[in-house]
Structure 1
């Protein structure tokens, strides 16, 4: 079926090459590329998104990649991304307990619902910061701060727990027809209305996800006022003394578009010092990469969820957490262990509480309640809140004076975070990061000197011409094949019969190779030549 597909292209920063490339695109495809993210009119120090252009091409799905290859062959075009939604066949294992069912803590083996507060030592850290302020050694007085934290998720709800969310500052990037209609009744433009519509979109069905992840940071104990049901409110946000700004980027917890990049850029314009993102994509998109690098170069601490349990898949690696500029926190348990279903790997910086989390959530009809949940969706905001407290304690002026290059502030936090982590006996630092988050030790840890910090970035800045962003379903004949991603390096001489066995064997021997295809029947065959060609090119680009 023919329809319009969105394309993004990264153009050379050289003005002559840029104009020549844009002219060729216009002549060949009869379209006028426009800056996808606007021009740098907000004085961002490092605007990396200014060279990404977007346009629509009328095409069948089967010809999208041919057009992408044609674009990639144009001089001055550094990368091409056809924005195509990938259909996958797995879903989240989400607890479908009745509204407000506490599931008796002792019988079900649940910990104290507030365990993550004491485990991460947030109360002690806040008390320490206040005491240091009183003797002139710190910059946080224990009260409200002027720190802005960007919350990229499904938006907020009117749950009583979220009274401190700065909803009037939020942005909405979903913007459906219903969003526009509802905006008329609330008196705000739809783009400024980041309210979660509570639509359970598949395959990743988690309406109210943003309510749960925001509640972990800024939740205020309601004493059950306005709560539907009889479950007690045991929750408390770890650091409710900041400005949490909601950016609604999706109705689900997985993205296949560039809305995250738009939201991240707006967050930087809004002077957010920390970004928390319990949300991810399964495929690498160039605008995501550029948004992450732009944040990094501007000294914004970006904490991204690595992912966790999915039916039929024990572990999965997601973007933007895979990008080395981000801070990545996997899941730890109440008894100080790494959760076996949380992702582990060399990219993980630390672990933080994320299993057996008692969190707020909302349902349609103004039903506000609580439930048990789990995953890196919660270790991520807890770590982001720790970053905000670290910034508040040391003070922006002090940090900016010490770290003259903005990215050094991100690396200084990473250094302190890992060096101060609590490391239980037998902890595997190669898989689950430096240890478990200890916020009190984090604040006490001395700041590293600027010369000891090293800039981090991906191995490649420019994509190879032979490799494009791969929409795996276009190269898999049967749509019921599930997959584990990232990628594997497969030599062209390997044949059909042993391709899966080779990938699995290599994955067990080499930590860099993390792709495995699961074939449900003999009928589910892959076009091996195409697969090998694209996987090898993708792997080469990323240094696998």
Structure 2
């Protein structure tokens, strides 16, 4: 009765009822409720604690209906201040009410099946929900029959268990991890649901629908039509991802098959599954020289000419959105007694755990060598670590970590867990939060597959004159998303010897249409980390670190030239992002022998970047350095309404010939996900691309005779190529296999 999210006189509160006990929180987790119901269940009395002020008060709420309460509160025995609330209700496709997850979340990642629905049409809520319900009935019968066994009690159980997921054995109907409430239907109810689904009638699946940026038009009334017309929804199914993995032989292909069916049945522009396996990951790793003892802690500063930065320029007044693993109270992040002047802890967000309102990451962490712990601490240190720090005893110590923008403010967004994977929807949510928190820069040291909603949000961020900097990728060759989007500034890696870092992604002319904007130090970089409960500094490699360095440089740039002044000088068709990009290109340092075609314009050079005489004229559009900017690499065509449509790089028309449009419309996103999860295939494409005529000859044979001759055609390259291609083809959805002619 009381469980749910309530909009109240003092903002949103979240309550959970177990028996006659009710607990919860308010003010984004900074206040705690603890109360008890009377015999009627309609009067809730108890205490609340303001954890910020360490002060306790009393409250009494009277339930006036199922959806509203009238109440009062006070700091002492006199409870006389009004506190009223209304339950947030959403309606499922059968017209029944159910409570959603918290309004500002997309649900816990890595647990439930989720899809992003994209439409450019005007959608009536009731019709939209009904069409989803009907479509899901048939899909459930074919792909997820156990979905029909779940009752509407799922979400109540989910919230009562604080959003923790417990798996069921669907054959024995026993809970693998014991909880109090079962949400499985009886056999009779399951049969009734199945009959409804077979007859294409609503089968009562208790789904959740959340709109991405629901207040978009209200918050941004002047948003251009080409951005405003796109609507994205997160569809969450009450089914465990781990269970689905165990039941599905071809996980990715099946997820895309479900997406294609939803798209066609509901008549959407696109539907994308939440690919949260290992496609999007932090782009860094630690070196063998873990203690940084043989590495100069400031070589990266010398390399980018940091010594020329004026003493009064430190990024003060600039807010940097930082989607990563979160923050820790490391002294190199300028924390002392759990406080850092560089972190806005009132605005930090935990996307990964809806039960935590803090972006703080646990210390100590685990010791699995495959996990990526405290990545946000490492990249955060390069953003703002002061060049000396004061420990908890007040003693001054020289810092081994040298940050770039030591006066900037970081808004930490915990969007990556300790494991090296994060959902594409989770990253979408993180960008949305960064925009809402009015940051000036977004530093993205993560990368993976392209995602429509992610690119759309980045375009909105750039329209808002937020500078978005992203890592190009490690050992992936092709530049990963979101760096591959033309709206992002793509950052590659360089070394102490002014060479491209061997692990950095790079430009592949004629093969992929994305290109590097700048390179920065990324090898043997001293960064903060932890060993058990001990704060340490260690050496790391990766374009993650180059990205943090460039984001810090952007903060210095905004302070130097004054962000508001620059915006006021921009011409109508330009953005602050393009001005910064043009300035980066113009002032990049090009070492002897540097291949600008492959590795971009050069290495970050602050000595020129912060000089007024080198700043391009903000009133001129387009900027000369980016006049020939290529279209997005596999990005969403926001100028039209075609779903699942990607801008084709040069090699794709060669591969698919006349079928290129239908292939990209139906399965472009899936093909890119396959490429990005198979770096060997990118190497093959790259090597074949050196002789485009040879590629044409091979592919023409495949297209003319069908997929069955693919193996023979590929014999031109190594035998391992054939193995890779066969493996990839087997992982495709049935839909893409039919379109491409790959039936292996």
Tell me, yes or no, whether TM beats 0.5. yes
- Aligned residue runs from structure 1 range 416-435, under 5 A: 416-435=583-602
Q: Mean alpha-carbon deviation: is it higher for 232-241 or for 150-159?
A: 232-241
* Number of residue equivalences: 477
- Aligned residue runs from structure 1 range 96-495, under 5 A: 97=288, 101-103=291-293, 105=294, 110=295, 112-127=296-311, 141-142=312-313, 145-163=316-334, 164-175=342-353, 180=355, 190-196=356-362, 199=365, 205-222=371-388, 225=391, 233-251=399-417, 252-281=419-448, 283-309=449-475, 315=477, 317-345=479-507, 346-365=514-533, 367-405=534-572, 408-444=575-611, 445-448=614-617, 449-453=619-623, 458=632, 460-461=637-638, 462=642, 463-464=644-645, 465-467=665-667, 469-470=669-670, 483-484=680-681, 492=703, 493=706, 495=709
Q: Give the Cα–Cα distance (whole angstroms) in 2 for the partners of residues 299 and 474 of structure 1.
A: 33
* C-alpha displacement of 1:50: 6.7
Is the partner of 1:320 in helix, strand or coil?
coil
Matched-pair contact (CA < 8 Å) for 2:404–2:552: yes
Q: CA RMSD in A?
A: 3.9
Is the partner of 2:454 in helix, strand or coil?
helix
Is the partner of 1:299 in helix, strand or coil?
coil
* C-alpha displacement of 1:369: 0.5
* C-alpha displacement of 1:527: 4.2
1:272–1:456 distance in 2 versus 1, CA, 3 Å: farther
* C-alpha displacement of 1:87: 5.7
- The structure carrying a bigger strand percent of its residues is 2
Q: Give the Cα–Cα distance (whole angstroms) in 2 for the partners of residues 196 and 159 of structure 1.
A: 12
Q: Give the Cα–Cα distance (whole angstroms) in 2 for the partners of residues 526 and 418 of structure 1.
A: 37
TM-score (norm 1): 0.76
* C-alpha displacement of 1:497: 1.4
1:299–1:204 distance in 2 versus 1, CA, 3 Å: farther
Match of 2:260 among 69, 73, 93: 69
1:236–1:472 distance in 2 versus 1, CA, 3 Å: closer
Matching residue of 2:96: none
Q: Give the Cα–Cα distance (whole angstroms) in 1 for the partners of residues 368 and 269 of structure 2.
A: 34
Q: Give the Cα–Cα distance (whole angstroms) in 2 for the partners of residues 535 and 354 of structure 1.
A: 40
1:328–1:65 distance in 2 versus 1, CA, 3 Å: closer
Is the partner of 2:549 in helix, strand or coil?
helix
1:122–1:484 distance in 2 versus 1, CA, 3 Å: farther
* C-alpha displacement of 1:28: 2.6
Match of 1:497 among 711, 724, 731: 711
Q: Give the Cα–Cα distance (whole angstroms) in 1 for the partners of residues 125 and 373 of structure 2.
A: 42
* C-alpha displacement of 1:20: 5.6
1:530–1:253 distance in 2 versus 1, CA, 3 Å: closer
Matched-pair contact (CA < 8 Å) for 1:198–1:208: no
* C-alpha displacement of 1:536: 10
Q: Deviations over 1:389-419 (max 9, x none)?
A: 1111111221121115485211111001001
TM-score (norm 2): 0.57
1:18–1:93 distance in 2 versus 1, CA, 3 Å: closer
Q: Give the Cα–Cα distance (whole angstroms) in 2 for the partners of residues 144 and 447 of structure 1.
A: 21
* C-alpha displacement of 1:319: 1.5
Q: Give the Cα–Cα distance (whole angstroms) in 1 for the partners of residues 541 and 375 of structure 2.
A: 11
Matched-pair contact (CA < 8 Å) for 2:517–2:585: yes
Matching residue of 1:52: 232
Matched-pair contact (CA < 8 Å) for 1:235–1:358: yes
Matched-pair contact (CA < 8 Å) for 2:715–2:722: no
Is the partner of 1:411 in helix, strand or coil?
helix
Q: Mean alpha-carbon deviation: is it higher for 405-414 or for 428-437?
A: 405-414
Q: Give the Cα–Cα distance (whole angstroms) in 1 for the partners of residues 263 and 733 of structure 2.
A: 19
Q: Deviations over 1:318-364 (max 9, x none)?
A: 21111111001111111211112211114211111111111111233
1:170–1:528 distance in 2 versus 1, CA, 3 Å: closer
1:406–1:168 distance in 2 versus 1, CA, 3 Å: farther
Matching residue of 2:131: 24
Q: Give the Cα–Cα distance (whole angstroms) in 1 for the partners of residues 503 and 722 of structure 2.
A: 19
Q: Give the Cα–Cα distance (whole angstroms) in 2 for the partners of residues 392 and 22 of structure 1.
A: 47
Q: 5+ residue gaps in structure 1?
A: 128-140, 181-189, 506-515, 539-544
Matched-pair contact (CA < 8 Å) for 2:520–2:547: yes
* C-alpha displacement of 1:65: 3.2
Q: Mean alpha-carbon deviation: is it higher for 390-399 or for 379-388?
A: 390-399
Q: Deviations over 1:183-236 (max 9, x none)?
A: xxxxxxx13333355645978522011111111111124568469xxx974222
Q: 5+ residue gaps in structure 2?
A: 1-110, 137-201, 335-341, 508-513, 646-664, 686-694
Matched-pair contact (CA < 8 Å) for 2:323–2:414: yes
1:487–1:35 distance in 2 versus 1, CA, 3 Å: farther
Q: Deviations over 1:291-329 (max 9, x none)?
A: 2222122221111011124xxxx6353211111110011
Q: Mean alpha-carbon deviation: is it higher for 217-226 or for 319-328?
A: 217-226
1:25–1:485 distance in 2 versus 1, CA, 3 Å: farther
* C-alpha displacement of 1:519: 3.8
